[in-house]
Each structure stands twice: as C-alpha cells, then as structure tokens.
Structure 1
Amino acid sequence: MISIIRIAVLSSTRATDMDALVDAIRYDGLDAEIVALAANKNCPALERARGFGIPALFVDAKGMDKEEYDRALYAALEPRKPDLIVLIGYMRFLTKWFVDRFPGRIVNVHPSLLPEFAGERDPGIYESILASGKARTGATIHLVDETPDGGPVISQKEVGIAEGETPETLKAKVQAVEQELLVKAVDLFSKGKVAVTGSKVVMPR
C-alpha cells in the first residue's frame, strides 16, 4: 500500500541532496512530503529549505550535552509527526535516546561505501579516499543506530575514481549517486518495502 511519507531532514551543511527529493516529489510522483528541515547551526541548508517552502528549524546546540540536544531536537520535530528522518550532511551522531524514538525510521546518506571511511565527513572524506589509492568509491544509504555511521545498509552504488580526480570532481560524482539512492530509498519506505531482521535490511516483495 502506498501512502504519503512525512520526512524530516537533519542537516549541518547545505543539504544539497534534498534537491533530488524535492524534484522527485514535484515532478516524478514520489509519495512523500518534506515536513521540516532542522539544523544544529545556522547553515545554508536552512535557506535552501525556505526556498522550497519547507519549514526550517534552527535548534541551537550551544550549552547542551548530546542527549539534551537530541531531546530538544525531538521536541521541535514531534509536532510535525515525521514518519522518516533523513540525515543529509548532518555532522552530529545521534544518541540512543533519539534513535529509539524512531526505530528503523532514520536513514543517513554517507559519501563512501561503508564500512570504508566510516566516521569521516565532507569535505575531508574525499581527500582521504583519494589518498587511499582506491580505484572505486561510492555512496551508502543506511539505517541509523547510535554508533558512528553504523546501522544496516539499505543500498550502495559504486563510482570509479579517474586519474587526476580531485576532491571536488569526486564529490560531484558521489553526490549524483547519493541523490539517486536516496530517492529510491524513500520510495521503498513509502511502499512499506523496508524491514529490519536482526542486523540486516530486507526488502519484502
């Protein structure tokens, strides 16, 4: 059964991948609605959300420990009744308290083929990937638990690393794949096709 899935995006950066979700909702019939974008600092993602007419919530982390902040974040999001939390360039690791509020309903977009380069972030992650000498990298969409970049993988896709690749050109490649995977993952959630068995994600037919 297809239903409109209510999404809250968390970001600390630009939330560039959100553009793909907005386009898929507006033009491709993705059964979703972005009900809020929340940020832990005054970042470009807030203005990006406002430009799309999405409620932008700045939840300042100053003076709070991790769980205090996550409780404040939950209080800001709960009135919006999100079905799915999507992390796009969110530079904080969520506490168990927050994860437990949305079991199996928090996904992260990570710019590598996890578990490779777990815990690393944009922009430094692209420099690390290039320094490793690997011929391929990619993107991962995964469910979130309280461990850094942990949680069951929903989907991954590889991209090649060309000779002379720079962090900027590699980022563009990886972001294109991130956006493709993210839209597909949200579509699966809207159709009830994502389930967790033990530590693995299964896709019921």
Structure 2
Amino acid sequence: MADFGAVGRADASAERIPVAVLISGRGSNMAALVAAAQADDCPYRVVLVAANDPDAGGLAIARTAGIATFALSHKGMARAAFDAVLDAEIRRAGAEWIALAGYMRLLSPSFIAGWTGRIVNIHPSLLPLYKGLDTHARAIAAGDTEGGCSVHIVTPELDDGPVVAQARVPILPGDTPDTLAARVLPAEHALYPKTLAELVRA
C-alpha cells in the first residue's frame, strides 16, 4: 500500500528553504537548528554542515542526522582561497541561507558579499555590547545585571550587522563566565531556530 503521507512529507521538505550551517566545534547551536527542522511546520531544512576543523565534534551529530558534511582545515590557506572552496561547497549543496553556529573564523568580504543579507550568526552577548570573544567575562567585569545572546545579520565588520532578535538572561551574584555561559546557552538554543525560521519566511 502506498504511503501518501510519506509522499506529502517529502514534498513539504523539498519546499523548505535550504540552509547551510558552519561550525568549528561541538555544534550545539547547529544541533538545535537541526532538531527544530524536524518539525512539520519548520520553513527551513539543513542541507549541509561545514567545518573549518575536520575534528569538529558537531560533524558527527550532523552525520548521525543524515545531513551532508564538509570539513577542511583552513590552516595554510589564504582566507580568500579557503572561503572560495567553502562557497563552492555551500552552493553545490543548494543552500540559500547560511547560519553560523560557533564558526570561529572571520569570513572574507568577498564571501559575505556573495550572500548579502542571507548569513546569520548567533553571538553570546547583548549586541552591540561585547563584540568578539570573552563576552561573559566582560559582562561580569562591567557589573552588568543581564547577559544574553543576539542573532544578527553578518556583515564584513565583526559582530556588527543588524540585530534581528535577542534573549536576555540575568547575571547572578557570584556568577563566573562558565556559569553565565551555561545559563545563556539554552537561551541560544531556543532563540536561534525561531529567529532563523522567521527570517527565511520573510
């Protein structure tokens, strides 16, 4: 007997916006995006997970989920040359959007220009505060009462693109960068899939 429901699900999946996710490490935000994409009403599907570190832990998560992966070390390669290879792989996968999920490498201006308005990133601070690294330590040192995360459009300037959404998390007395990071991470996992879905629907 034919499973017409399965055919319908396949057709719905094909209509979803294809997204490539770039990682450098464990890929927890990537995993959150992939998990959210399993919902019937999710408007995107992850078609590629790419890493600049072949040992990135998130690659195994993607493979287990049946998602194509690409990994190449950037070491010894010029930034533009590496990004050209990366761009080719992303386009070969058919992606229309790119989501950075712990991708710890600056993208070249030419790469970003080719995807203007279609690269998003999640950053562990309430931008425009604390661009770059060590965000939680900097927020605590400044005496802030709140930390959090921001989803923003990627531009050539580091963590400087338009902020699309934010989630706020209290900074508690006695917090360390590690305890604050542990409190912010679940907020990232909730905010990123929701925001990406809203962006690709627009």
Q: TM-score, normalised by structure 2?
A: 0.87
CA–CA distance in 2 between the matches of 1:31 and 1:88? 18
Secondary structure of the equivalent of 2:103?
Answer: coil
Q: Which position in structure 2 is the counterpart of 1:62?
A: 75
Q: How does 1:10-49 map to 2 (within 5 A)?
A: 10-27=22-39, 29-41=41-53, 42-49=55-62
Question: Is 1:133 aligned to residue 143 of structure 2?
Answer: yes
Unaligned runs of 5+ in 1: 193-205
CA RMSD of superposed structures (Å): 1.5
Q: Distance in 2 between matches of 1:184 and 1:23?
A: 12
**Displacement, 1:22?**
2.2
Q: In the alignment, is the contact (CA less than 8 A) between 2:48 and 2:90 conserved in 1?
A: yes
Residue 173 of structure 2 aligns with an amino acid whose one-letter code is E
**Count of residues in Structure 1 that have an aligned counterpart in Structure 2:** 187
1:173 aligns with 2:186: no
Contact 1:93 1:147 in 2 (8 A): no
2:124 paired residue number? 111
Q: Give the secondary-structure state (helix, strand or coil) at the position aligned to 1:180.
A: helix
Deviation for aligned residue 1:156: 1.1
Q: Distance in 1 between matches of 2:136 and 2:198?
A: 29
Post-superposition offset of 1:75: 1.5
Moved more, 103-112 or 181-190: 181-190
Identity %: 37
Indicate if the aligned counterparts of 1:59 and 1:72 stay in contact, CA closer than 8 A: no
Deviates more, 1:135-144 or 1:68-77: 68-77
Which of 66, 72, 83 matches 2:96?
Answer: 83
Q: Give me the whole-angstrom Cα distance separating, in 1, the residues matched to 2:35 and 2:69.
A: 18
Q: Report the secondary structure of 1:93's partner residue.
A: coil
| SS of corresponding position for 1:159 | strand
Separation in structure 1 between the aligned mates of residue 39 and residue 90 of structure 2, nearest angstrom:
26
Which residues of 2 match residues 162-201 of structure 1 at below 5 A? Answer: 162-192=172-202
Moved more, 21-30 or 181-190: 21-30
Conserved 8 A contact 1:4-1:190:
no
- Which structure has the greater CA radius of gyration? 2
Moved over 4 A (4+): none
TM-score by length of 1: 0.85
